[in-house]
């Protein structure tokens, strides 16, 4: 399945799509794969597989800690692609969330080729701007991959026009400035940002940064096409790992997915 089909299915059901994030390799490669598969089974429409990177500037402390441990465990790009393959085999679209340096070092066309061969749908690239994305735009076109760039509350109308034109699949609306992390309340800037993005594109708009429970998911689903959740899922695995019970994180991920899935299905539009 593609992200377009996933968003289309959600829209046909008059709801937002649930997009979940987990980093590859944490707490181990195998547990991360099982957690992603559990997320898919419990109602996630799309899954972002994080590619561990040593300098995760956009990530808050929870995700940064998980990524550090994944790297310490020896997680490599091949492990990320294997996780993507497992998610795709479970029937859910998988994108890689990655900073640009690892892709550049791997080889842009080679990465696109190998991602497509693994069944991946595309990349979310938080630190890559469209003006510097020429090789990726070319490679993603060759291998029919989504390219998801980020729009921020500070983005001008002119900037949103550039970002949305470069996107394929959907647009990632970062609901607030700063790093990732669960918040007590949904950003008041998010609805306005989504509205402004829609003035420039017909692509689905998914909102990320801050959602951690079903109530917040329902709030975002009232104005966005997709709800992106990352830190809350990673926290479930991190808490289990810290308690020396890594496998127990999988039921927690499944339970949270079910709660969020119910949230995006509430008729609040």
- How many angstroms separate the Cα of 90 from the Cα of each of 37, 70, 148, 216, 239? 7, 23, 22, 27, 26
Q: Is 255 a catalytic residue?
A: no
Q: Is residue 269 part of a domain?
A: no
At 161, which CATH number? 3.20.20.70
pLDDT for residue 182: 45
pLDDT for residue 179: 42
Which residues have a Cβ under 8 Å from the Cβ of 30 and sit 6 or more positions away? Answer: none
Is residue 83 within 8 Å of residue 50, measured between CB atoms? no
Give me the domain span that covers residue 224: 3-264
3-state class of 150 per DSSP? strand
Q: Is residue 179 part of a domain?
A: yes
Calculate the CA dihedral of residues 97, 99, 104, 108 and round it to 10 degrees.
Answer: 20
80-94 tens-digit pLDDT: 999 999 999 999 999
Q: What is the DSSP letter of 16?
A: P
155-184 tens-digit pLDDT: 999 999 999 999 999 999 997 544 444 445
Q: Is 242 a catalytic residue?
A: no
Q: Which of 59, 114, 146, 225 is catalytic?
A: 59
| Stretches in the chain below the pLDDT threshold 50 | 177-183, 185, 268-269
pLDDT for residue 267: 56
**pTM of the predicted model, to two decimals?**
0.93
**Domain total in the chain:** 1
Q: Is residue 246 part of a domain?
A: yes
26-54 tens-digit pLDDT: 999 999 999 999 999 999 999 999 999 99
pLDDT for residue 210: 80
pLDDT for residue 242: 84
Q: Which of 48, 85, 146, 225 is catalytic?
A: 48
Distance of CA 233 to the CA centre of its chain: 11
């Amino acid at each position: 399945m593609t992200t377009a089909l996933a968003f289309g299915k959600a829209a046909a059901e008059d709801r937002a799509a649930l997009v979940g994030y987990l980093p590859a390799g944490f707490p181990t490669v195998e547990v991360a794969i099982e957690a992603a598969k559990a997320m898919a089974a419990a109602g996630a429409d799309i899954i972002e597989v994080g590619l561990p990177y040593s300098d995760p500037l956009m990530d808050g402390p929870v995700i940064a800690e998980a990524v550090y441990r994944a790297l310490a465990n020896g997680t490599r790009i091949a492990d990320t692609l294997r996780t993507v393959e497992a998610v795709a085999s479970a029937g859910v679209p998988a994108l890689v969330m990655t900073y640009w340096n690892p892709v550049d070092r791997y080889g842009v066309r080679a990465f696109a080729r190998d991602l497509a061969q693994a069944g991946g749908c595309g990349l979310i690239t938080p630190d890559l701007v469209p003006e510097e994305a020429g090789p990726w735009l070319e490679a993603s076109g060759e291998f029919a991959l989504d390219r998801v760039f980020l729009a921020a509350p500070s983005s001008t109308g002119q900037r949103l026009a550039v970002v949305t034109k470069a996107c394929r699949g959907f647009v990632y609306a970062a609901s607030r400035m700063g790093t990732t992390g669960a918040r007590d309340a949904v950003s008041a800037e998010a609805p306005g940002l989504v509205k402004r993005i829609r003035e420039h594109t017909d692509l689905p708009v998914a909102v990320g940064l801050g959602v951690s429970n079903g109530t917040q998911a329902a709030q975002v689903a009232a104005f966005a096409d997709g709800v992106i959740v990352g830190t809350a899922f990673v926290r479930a695995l991190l808490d289990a790992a810290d308690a020396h019970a890594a496998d127990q994180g999988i039921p927690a991920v499944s339970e949270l997915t079910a709660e969020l899935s119910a949230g995006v299905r509430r008729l609040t539009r």
